[in-house]
Every structure is written in C-alpha cells, then in structure tokens.
A = this chain, B = another copy of it.
Amino acid sequence: MTGKKLLLTPGPTPIPEEIQEEMAKPIMHHRTPQYREIFAEANKGLKNIFKTSADILTFTSSGTGAMEASVVNTLSKGDKAIVVRGGKFGERFAELCEAYGVGVIAIDMKWGTGPDPKVIEKTLSENKDVKAVFVNLCETSTATVYDIESIGRIVKDTPAILVVDVISGLGSDEFKMDEWHVDITVGGSQKGLMIPPGLAFCAISKKAWDLVSKSTLPKYYLDFKKYKKSVEKDDVPFTPAITLEIGLRKAIAIIEKEGVDNSIKRHTDDAEYLRSELKKMGLEIFSKSPSNAVTAAMVPQGIDGGALIKALKQKGITFAGGQAELKGKIFRIASMGAITRKDLDRGLSALKDVLKELEVKK
C-alpha cells in the first residue's frame, strides 16, 4: 500500500496519465480542421462504445445537462412520460419532467432493485398517450443495473421513445443502443470514459428525431437541432470544452485498443471479484441487481457509515457514501473507467483495516 491518493468514487474517476498529458498540450482553436478531426474521431468512437449508428451530440455540461436535453427536445408541456424511479437519478428525470410541465407517471421501486419490465408494459398499455420512458442503465445511487434490453423490447412497439441514462454504466455494464431499441442515450465524460467531468452526450435515434420535430418546450443552449446542424460539419454551435474533447479522443483510443467488449468483460470480472471479496469480509451487497460500474455494500450494523468513509480517506482511499435515504447506510466502491484490479485490492485492504479499527472502537 502506497500513500498515493486513490479515488474509488463513481465519478469523477482517475484520469490515466497519457490522457492528462494530451489535455495539457497548448490549447487549440475549435474552429479549425485540426479540432474538427479530433471531434469527428471522438464521435466515431462514441458510436462504437454506445453501439449505435445514431447521431451523437456533445454538450459542454454536467450529465444533468444532457438529461435535461433529452426532456426539453422531445416533449411538450402537458405531455406524459413514464419515469422509472429507483434512486436519485431516476428522481432527477422526474424532477426534470416536472420542471417543464410534463406529467410524470412514476414507476417506483424499492431502492436497490431494478424495474420489472412487465410493469412498464402494463403502464404503457394503460397510458397509450405516453410520449417517453425515462430510465437509467445503472442507477448510480443504488449501484443497480436495469434490464434495458427487455424494456427496449416493450417500448419499441409503442409510439413512446425510450431514453436511457448510461452516465455511470457506460463501459462497465453491457449496453447496445441500436440492438436494444434505445432511442436516446444520455452519457457523461467523468465515469467509464476516464476524463474529467464537463462533457455530456445524447445519441438520438430516428424515432426520437420524429418527436424532436414536434416538441414545443423552450430551449436554446441544449437545442438538439443546433447541435445536429453543426455536427454534420464536425462542429459545435457553442465554444466547446476543448481540452476535455481532446482528452476524450485519447480515452477512446485507449478503450478501442483494448476493445470495447474486452473492456466491458474486464469491468464485469473486476466487479464480480469486488463483490465476492466484500462477501468474504462478511459484508452484504446492497443491490439485488448489482452494476459492474459501482458496487454498494451495507454498512455493518453498529458501525457509523460516515466514520467509515472518513477513516478510509485518512488512508488515502475515497469511497462514496450513500445518497439521500441511503446516507450512512451503504458505501459505494467504483470499479469503472481506469480503476484497476490493483486499485480495488488496495481499497479492499484499507477497508479491512478500517472495519477492524471501527469494530474495536464499537
């Protein structure tokens, strides 16, 4: 164990040195053939990773900006949307819809479980005027992966579009936009894509574009049409986060060198290993459908969740705590992006020590 700090949080995640170096080169102007080439390459790579041939639009924003874009570009005031709500980021989709006067039909689950596709099917058949279904691939707050493939099979035969937030799951949990009939994929930069936060993405299917043409919600900075017009010329409508885009191109090169599927396989193996090691330590995995991007374990009875996170930080290891109703009850360890098996071992070893220390104090 070295004294070097280690970030095992579900975003931001560690940035590989070669990406840092790329981003630290003298800045270039974005209205140049040189930048357009970088942007085009990054977009091509994102399509490979999203497994889609759809247009990909890039926003300078947090992931929430792209989540908002998926609402304001497809819907109109008074429209109805189904929102799968099993944690903080499902709730965010609902809040976004409500902020714009979109009626929310919430499918609420016990946190830590995924939605039953049959419930979505039933809700859609009872509400034929639903325009969109909003769901997460990985609900980061509960470290739970949802069965998007089954949901896609249901939504595709209705007039509704399927919007999936893959911000934390991308690159770790399997995801196939086109094959699974996803209409809008919402992504972010600071998780599986291994670069700092500040870029967010929407990939948009033909079915979604049809809805875009009918949407009357107001928008400007997040207007899909402005970005679509620009991306056709490998350009963006507003000054982009140039250094992050340059980092993204490099990150994608790293992922493509390993192979998109190999990378997901590695993250799957790492997450399985992480869960099995936690169980060996007598810890309970919180989620009933655990994600490969981030793992949540229950804080053992009698131990203060906040103290646990704090004690780990003193050893240089940052875990994430629980959010909202899970605060103090779970802790979360990310295995996404550039986090290695060795990093996980270091985190696990520190966790073991801390649990022992806290047990003694108890």
Stoichiometry, copies per complex: 2
Bitwise, A1-19 to B at CB < 8 A (1) or not (0) is 0000101010111110000
Which residues in window 210-262 of A have CB below 8 A to B? Answer: 217-223, 238-244
| Bound CA–CA A169/B99 (angstroms) | 34
A305 to B11, CA, bound (A): 46
Q: Does A290 sit at the interface, judged by CB under 8 A?
A: no
Q: A120 an interface residue at 8 Å Cβ cutoff? A: no
Q: Which residues of chain B come closer than 8 Å to A318, judged between CB atoms?
A: 29, 32
A63 CB-CB contact with B under 8 Å: yes
Determine whether the beta carbon of B30 is less than 8 Å from that of A12. Answer: yes
Whether A241 and B197, one on each chain, are in contact in the complex, defined by CB atoms closer than 8 angstroms, is yes
**Which residues of B sit under 8 angstroms from A157, Cβ to Cβ?**
none
Taking CB atoms and an 8 Å cut-off, the chain A residues in 73-110 that contact chain B are 95-96, 99-101
Hey, which chain B residues are within 8 Å of A27, CB to CB?
7, 12-15, 196
In the assembled complex, the CB of A309 is this many whole angstroms from the nearest CB of chain B, namely 10
- Which residue of the partner chain B has the closest CB to A240? B197
Contact A196 B241 (CB under 8 A): yes
Contacts of A23 in B (CB 8 A): 23-24, 243
Flag if B197 contacts A99 (CB, 8 Å).
no
Q: Evaluate contact between A197 and B239: CB separation under 8 angstroms.
A: yes
Q: State how many angstroms separate the Cβ of A43 from the closest Cβ of chain B.
A: 18
Is A126 an interface residue when CB atoms closer than 8 A count as contact? no
Contact of A12 among B12, B101, B196, B239 (CB under 8 A): B239
Contact B60 A62, beta carbon cutoff 8 Å: yes
* Assembled-state Cα–Cα distance A21/B220 (Å): 35
Most B C-beta atoms less than 10 A away, residue of A95, A101, A244: A244
Q: Are A242 and B64 neighbours in the complex by a CB distance under 8 Å?
A: no
Min CB distance A155 to B, Å, is 24
Task: State the Cβ distance, A337 to closest chain B Cβ, in Å.
Answer: 11
B contact residues around A243 at 8 Å (CB): 23, 196, 198, 243
A60 to B222, CA, bound (A): 13
- Residues of chain B contacted by A65 (CB below 8 angstroms): 60-61, 65, 221, 238
Cβ of A20 within 8 Å of any chain B Cβ, yes or no, is yes
What CA separation (Å) do A353 and B239 show in the bound complex?
30
Q: Within 8 Å CB of A11, what residues of B?
A: 239
Q: A62 is contacted by which of B13, B188, B221 (Cβ under 8 Å)?
A: B221
Write 22 A-B pairs (CB below 8 A) sorted by A numbering: A7-B26, A7-B28, A12-B28, A14-B26, A15-B26, A23-B23, A24-B24, A60-B65, A61-B61, A62-B239, A62-B240, A64-B238, A65-B65, A65-B238, A99-B218, A99-B220, A190-B239, A196-B242, A197-B239, A197-B240, A198-B241, A243-B243
